[in-house]
C-alpha cells in the first residue's frame, strides 16, 4: 500500500516524462491484482456453480423442481436437527465462554496462560480423534447411551475455543476504565457486566457465534461417531446419500440447500449483530 502511494507524490509535483515507467509498473500491478482476484473467485465459486447446475438436472426426465421438493419433504427432518443442534451448541458455548473469557482477561491467577493454551487445544485435535475419544468416554467411562445431548456436548467441546478466542481478544481491547467508571457510579458487578461489558464486546461475541455456527452446522466427522440412532443431521445425510445412492441430482439439491442456509445465516447474522454492535462502540 505505502509503496504504491509513495511514488505518487513526486509524480504530481514533477510531471516529467521520466516518471512514465513508474506509472506503467503500477498499471501492471493493478492488472495483475485484478486478475488474481478473478482467478480466486473462479476457483472458489466454480464448484458451487457446478453443484448448482447439477442439482437442476433430472435423470430420466424429472423436472428440476422435483429435486428440491424431494429435499424439502425428505430432508426437512435432517435440516431441523442440524439447526437444533447448532442452536443448543451456541447457547452452551456462550454460557461457558463468556465467564471464562472474563476470568482469563480480568483476573490474575497462576497458570493463566497455560490454561488458555489448554482451553484452545480442541482446535488442533482432528475431528476423528475427538470422535473416538468421545465414544470411549460416553460408553465406558460415563456409561451414557448416546443421546442428542451427547452430540451437542461433543459439538461444544470441539468448537468452544472458537467462541472463547474472539471474546478474549475483544475483552483485552476493552479499556478497563469503562468498568471502573460504572462501578464508581454505583453499578454492581452484574450490572456492569450486562450493561457495559457485554454490549461493548458485541463484535467479538458475534464473530464467535458466526464461526461456531458455520462449523457446527456443517460438522460431519464427529457427528458420525457420536450421533444417536435415529438422529441424522443434514451433512451426515448428504454423506450417507452419496454412499448409498451415489451422486444423484437430489443429493446435489440437498447440498445446495445446505449451502444456501449457511449463506443466509451469515447474511442474517451480519444484519442483526455485526453492524448494530459495531456502530457506536469505541472502535469506531
Question: In this structure, what DSSP letter does residue 227 have?
Answer: P
| DSSP-assigned states of every residue in 242-284 | HHHH-S-HHHHHHHHHHHHHHHHHHHHHIIIIIHHHHTTSTT-
Least spacing, CB of residue 171 vs other proteins, in Å:
15
| Site of grid cell 443448543 | 88
Least spacing, CB of residue 208 vs other proteins, in Å:
18
Alpha-carbon distance of 118 to 113, in angstroms, equals 9
Residue 208 vs residues 36, 90, 129, 168, 235: alpha-carbon distances, Å: 30, 9, 23, 10, 22
Closer by beta carbon to other proteins, 102 or else 178: 178
Alpha-carbon distance of 212 to 204, in angstroms, equals 12
Let me know how many helices (H) and strands (E) the chain has, helices first. Answer: 15, 0
Least spacing, CB of residue 277 vs other proteins, in Å:
8
Instruction: Enumerate binding residues for other proteins (CB under 8 A).
Output: 175, 177-178, 180-188, 191, 195-196, 199-200, 280-282, 284
Least spacing, CB of residue 279 vs other proteins, in Å:
8
Least spacing, CB of residue 201 vs other proteins, in Å:
11
Amino acid at each position: 500500500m505505502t509503496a504504491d502511494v509513495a511514488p505518487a507524490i513526486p509524480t504530481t509535483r514533477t510531471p516529467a516524462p521520466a516518471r512514465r515507467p513508474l506509472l506503467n509498473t503500477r498499471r501492471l500491478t493493478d492488472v495483475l491484482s485484478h486478475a488474481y482476484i478473478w482467478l480466486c473467485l473462479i476457483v472458489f465459486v466454480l464448484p458451487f456453480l457446478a453443484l448448482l447446475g447439477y442439482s437442476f438436472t433430472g435423470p430420466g426426465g424429472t423436472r428440476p423442481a422435483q429435486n428440491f421438493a424431494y429435499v424439502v419433504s425428505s430432508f426437512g427432518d435432517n435440516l431441523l436437527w442440524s439447526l437444533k443442534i447448532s442452536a443448543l451448541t451456541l447457547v452452551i458455548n456462550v454460557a461457558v465462554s463468556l465467564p471464562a473469557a472474563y476470568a482469563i482477561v480480568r483476573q490474575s491467577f497462576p497458570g493463566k496462560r497455560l490454561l488458555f493454551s489448554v482451553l484452545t487445544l480442541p482446535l488442533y485435535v482432528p475431528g476423528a480423534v475427538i470422535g473416538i475419544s468421545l465414544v470411549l468416554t460416553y460408553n465406558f467411562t460415563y456409561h451414557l447411551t448416546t443421546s442428542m445431548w451427547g452430540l451437542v456436548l461433543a459439538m461444544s467441546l470441539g468448537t468452544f475455543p472458537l467462541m472463547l478466542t474472539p471474546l478474549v481478544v475483544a475483552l483485552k481491547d476493552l479499556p478497563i476504565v469503562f468498568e471502573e467508571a460504572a462501578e464508581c457510579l454505583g453499578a454492581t458487578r452484574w450490572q456492569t457486566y450486562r450493561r457495559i461489558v457485554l454490549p461493548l464486546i458485541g463484535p467479538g461475541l458475534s464473530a464467535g457465534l458466526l464461526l461456531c455456527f458455520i462449523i457446527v452446522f456443517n460438522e460431519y466427522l464427529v457427528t458420525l461417531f457420536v450421533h444417536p440412532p435415529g438422529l441424522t443431521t443434514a451433512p451426515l445425510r448428504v454423506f450417507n446419500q452419496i454412499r448409498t445412492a451415489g451422486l444423484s441430482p437430489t443429493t446435489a439439491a440437498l447440498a445446495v440447500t445446505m449451502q444456501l442456509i449457511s449463506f443466509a445465516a451469515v447474511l442474517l447474522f451480519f444484519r442483526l449483530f455485526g453492524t448494530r454492535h459495531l456502530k457506536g462502540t469505541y472502535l469506531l
